[in-house]
A and B are shown apart, each in its own frame.
Chain A
Amino acid sequence: MHPSSRTSRTSLRTATRGSPTGPRSSKTTPANRLAGNTRASGVLGKIAWTAAAVVPLAFLAVFFGWPVGAILARGFVTDGQFSLAMFGEVLGESRTWRIVAQTLWMAIGGTLGSVLLGIPGAYILYRRRFPGRAVLRGIATVPFVLPTVVVGVAFRALLAKQGPLGFLGLDGTTTAVILAMVFFNFSIVVRQVGSLWATLDPRMTEAARTLGASPFRAFRTVTLPQLGPAIASSASLVFLYCSTAFGIVVTLGQPGYGTLETEIYTQTTVFLNLPGAAVLSVLQFAIVLVAVLVSNRARSGTETTLKLGEVKDARLGRGDLWPAIVTFGTIGTLILAPLVALVARSLQRGGEWSFANYALLGTSGTGFAGGATVLEALDHSLKIALDATMIALAIGVPLALVLSRRTKSRGFQRAQRVIDGAVMLPLGVSAVTVGFGFIVSIQAFAPQLAMSGLLVPLAQAVVALPLVVRSLVPVLRAIDPRLREAAATLGASPARILRTVDGPFLARGLGLAAGFAFAVSLGEFGATSFLARPDYVTLPVLIVRLLSRPGADNYGMALAAAVLLAAVTATVMVVCEKLRPRGAGEVTG
């Protein structure tokens, strides 16, 4: 019998906390010593590990590298001649640098806001027990999948002069954009930090408190360092989302200079200035690379193996006053207010309360005589999202295992860093670049495949991949390597080690990763609008189309459809987290 889940958890507890990477000096690991016994499985293991890295990278190369490379090539190669002249031209304009500054300033603001509000949020929502917690977790995630056009309308309804928050004077300001970025990304920090926090053994903190440390000091010196990897990981994700935000910048950010993303869009779609757009894309790439490198450094600096245990969450108590105020305040004002405004407006028709908009969801509405109904579009979205989630997990899980492997080989470590960066890149490239890239690469190569609409789940999987990987890696990295070595010494095969040591940790993160992948796919608009078949339209695409038509029916249906999308997403996220096996992560529901 291999160790049951109970004993494996016990061994987690009893494993001694060593240096993060295990015994550095010994060249002969127990695994090597046993090599004679398990040579066959060793070779198999090598093949398996190589495949785990190569297959996902090949996938990324075809569905991301090729399209983007093809469009960038058109920017730099004119009449068969490679030219960098455009670089000098674009980089020489002061306007370019004002745009870069604007992009960075908004992205940093959005990231800082999300992290500062998200850490107390992770604590309250993942370490404290109170009625309605699961619902609040779900609500916090809803913004993440709402189409940005709808969020823009909801935010503007609140902030416009005649709106409830109009007195703040935020309409059309950079502050409004940053608030919207926090609205969107708060849940990434809460969930990624929270799901790690939920598994931390609280006894270290309790010990520090017994020794006289204040709650804040205990948090700063004991808990914060343990959360470091998850914080760095989620912060870099949020930064990438913020620095490539498009819809909310366009809706909320006028007037003033745009961001790199909006400028790439304008240069590509308005002026068809591919060389100019390519230079801006390279600039954006550079910012993304720097962000990934900084976050990797921050992560490896703070990474420790963690003592994970089965934790019973404490009740929400008096000592939690400040984090509770910050969290409930954030969810109440920043998250709920725009959502309530959206729901309220979806329930109004001609200034009166009515369900008329919802009654229309099963119809094509006016001006949609032949189009899909909202319910059909929801059906399409759910099917596509299921496919995309499967693909993202099939690609993401092996990648996360490869990336979380601790190794002493410099080459392997370097490879890990390169792969980690490559996985993040899809977030750093504008949807319009990817979209046109698909047209000049995959569609030109296989027109029928491109037109079948089957590329949509593949493209969405690429977009969801960074979140899947980033959700799994911090949890997997927390495994003490001595556990694996101990298992190997006892004669366990690599496959068995994977199953019994990594498995429980993997299962712990899988619900979150699947939930995120599903949510991202449900809400994806940019790539989908380029690739979806017109008769297989998804819900976000349909909502945007409804909004672009005059008429109270279409407007009302768009709002009602957005509420429907939000409700479905919140439910899916809550269910996915419930699916995590009992005993892994959290016990109380």
Chain B
Amino acid sequence: MTRRINIVATIALAALALTGCSAADQAGGAASTEGAGGTVTILTHDSFVITDEQIASFEEQSGYTLQTTAPGDAGVVTNQLVLSGDSPTVDGVYGIENYSTQTLLDAGALASYESPDLPESAASLMIEDKLTPIDQGQVCINIDHAWFEENGVAEPTTLDDLTKPEYASLLVTMNPATSSPGLAFLVATITEKGDDWENYWQQLLDGGTKVVSGWSDAYFVDFSGAEGAGEYPLVLSYSSSPAEADGRTGVLETSCTPQVEYAGVVEGAANPAGAQAFIDFLLSDEFQSGVAENMYMYPVNSEVALPETWAQHATLVDAPIEPNLKDVAANRDAWIADWTTLFENNAG
């Protein structure tokens, strides 16, 4: 009999739990405050952060209710837009990287919109009349200054230095097929080396450069200048990373290449006006001033002040390697495939 009571008790407890604390509570919050202008749905990548105050402020100014959906990283966002095709479920999109923009333009996934709020400093970054730049950053080789000082080795200064035997074995970088900084660096080396790029990478790999799949693995486990205290004093990372290391690390200035994140209005959207209002909001001082703190990127509006540690240790490099985005769009897949072949042959 005790057993029966036990089972009944368990079921009762479970039923209580089901009604009392179920994930269904999330639906209530969203539907309760329908804005006067209806809902605007924005597709973003999963690193997008917008504060509750910013959301409230946008909803108040525009009269729309904001709904965001974040299915994955920038690649997933791009693919979802292409896959949705003629029947989009979102009004706008934020978080398309400069290396994927052409894919979306070719697929006809975006509608025209030029925001009146676009700051002058960002005008040159606008792509056709469809992709509005929101934030930017640079992908750079990071250097652990302390390691080079302790070991009495001069720091590398150029991309070519990296292939020298004394430096190649100190570098850890990322697979361009699985990592967006990895792709940015591959594109940078191709921009600089042209047809000779495979030779360049062969020298890196022959010299002992380590390739891992993702940024966190490289930065936190292998890099000597971060928490993991790893073995490699050179790592592929961002220009903003030294801000977090309080100046113990720096960047190899000649290796930097820009990363720009774009927003756009989706072709065939149910609420294009709402998406336009949201893009205007992303360009406002209110949003731009939180970009560094919230997303570790730099605002496209150069008038907006950076946090102090950034201004001290992590300013953008003046003359980064600028790839031709049309070339990237035309060759991206082939480059990644060729790189993979080279890498696999080297490993096998």
Contacts and interface: CB of A to CB of B under 8 A. Distances in A.
Contacts of B61: none
A580 to B, nearest CB: 9
Contacts of A161: 231
A539 to B, nearest CB: 13
Interface stretch (A200-208, A234-242, A399-407, A451-459): A451-459
Nearest to B241: A550
A436 B1 CA distance: 50
A19 interface: no
Contacts of B216: 149, 153, 547-548, 555
Interface residues of A, number: 77
B79 A456 contact: no
Contact of A370 (B7, B213, B227, B294): B294
Contacts of B55: 370
A550 B238 contact: yes
Given A451-B41, A453-B26, A153 B217 contact: yes
Contact of A550 (B52, B175, B244): B244
A536 B213 contact: no
A443 B51 CA distance: 26
A270 B23 contact: no
Contacts of B67: 451
A484 interface: no
Given A153-B221, A545-B47, A582-B3, A255 B71 contact: no
A370 B51 contact: yes
B228 interface: yes
Contacts of B82: 272
A1 B284 CA distance: 75
Given A271-B333, A549-B296, A447 B221 contact: no
Contacts of A5: 1, 3-4
B89 A383 contact: no
A545 B290 CA distance: 18
B304 interface: no
A383 B68 contact: no
A130 B195 CA distance: 67
B347 interface: yes
B21 A383 contact: yes
Given A271-B333, A533-B26, A581-B3, A550 B237 contact: yes
Contacts of B346: 255
A532 to B, nearest CB: 8
Interface stretch (A290-298, A384-392, A418-426): A384-392
A370 B72 contact: no
Interface stretch (B10-18, B116-124, B149-157): B10-18
Contact of A507 (B3, B18, B228): B3
B281 interface: no
B220 interface: yes
A500 to B, nearest CB: 11
B2 A582 contact: yes
Interface in A150-171: 152-153, 156-157, 160-162
A549 to B, nearest CB: 6
Q: Which of B41, B49, B52, B238 has the most CB of A within 10 A?
A: B49
B312 interface: no
A180 interface: no
B253 interface: no
Given A269-B75, A447-B89, A454 B27 contact: yes
A274 to B, nearest CB: 8
Contact of B348 (A250, A256, A366): A256
Nearest to B69: A451
B26 A452 contact: yes
A166 to B, nearest CB: 9
B27 A452 contact: yes
Contacts of A223: none
A579 B10 contact: yes
A533 B219 contact: no
Interface string A442-453: 011001001111
A361 B91 CA distance: 35
Contact of A251 (B23, B71, B217, B240): B217
Contact of A555 (B4, B52, B227): B227
B125 interface: no
Given A581-B7, A582-B6, A266 B227 contact: no
B23 A268 contact: no
B127 interface: no
A215 B125 CA distance: 76
Interface in B72-118: 72, 75-76, 79-80, 82-84, 87, 89, 103
B84 A270 contact: no
B3 A450 contact: no
A552 interface: yes
A534 B51 CA distance: 12
A381 to B, nearest CB: 9
Interface in A241-272: 250-251, 254-257, 266, 268-272
A439 B178 CA distance: 21
A4 interface: yes
B212 A439 contact: no
B211 interface: yes
B227 A552 contact: yes
B282 to A, nearest CB: 14
Q: Which of B25, B69, B343, B348 has the most CB of A within 10 A?
A: B69
Contacts of A371: 49
Contacts of B83: 74, 436, 439-440
B18 A160 contact: no
A382 interface: yes
Contacts of B72: 269, 435, 529-530
Nearest to A162: B231
B84 A250 contact: no
Interface string B271-296: 00000000000000000001001111
B44 A534 contact: yes
A456 B296 CA distance: 29
B220 A547 contact: yes
Given A153-B216, A160-B228, A529-B71, 4 more contacts: A255-B344, A369-B49, A386-B22, A534-B69
Pairs A-B, 3 closest by C-beta atoms = A370-B51, A255-B347, A447-B89
Interface of A: 4-5, 74, 95, 149, 152-153, 156-157, 160-162, 250-251, 254-257, 266, 268-272, 345, 351, 366-371, 380, 382-384, 386-387, 390, 435-436, 439-440, 443-444, 447, 450-454, 456-457, 504, 507, 529-531, 533-536, 541, 545, 547-552, 555-556, 579, 581-584
Interface of B: 1-4, 6-7, 10, 14, 17-18, 21-27, 30, 41, 44, 46-55, 67-72, 75-76, 79-80, 82-84, 87, 89, 103, 175, 177-178, 211-217, 219-222, 226-231, 237-238, 240-241, 244, 290, 293-296, 333, 336-337, 343-344, 346-348
26 contacts: A152-B217, A156-B217, A156-B221, A160-B230, A251-B212, A254-B211, A270-B333, A370-B51, A380-B23, A386-B18, A436-B79, A444-B89, A452-B27, A453-B27, A454-B23, A454-B24, A454-B27, A504-B3, A533-B69, A535-B26, A541-B46, A548-B47, A550-B238, A550-B240, A551-B244, A582-B2
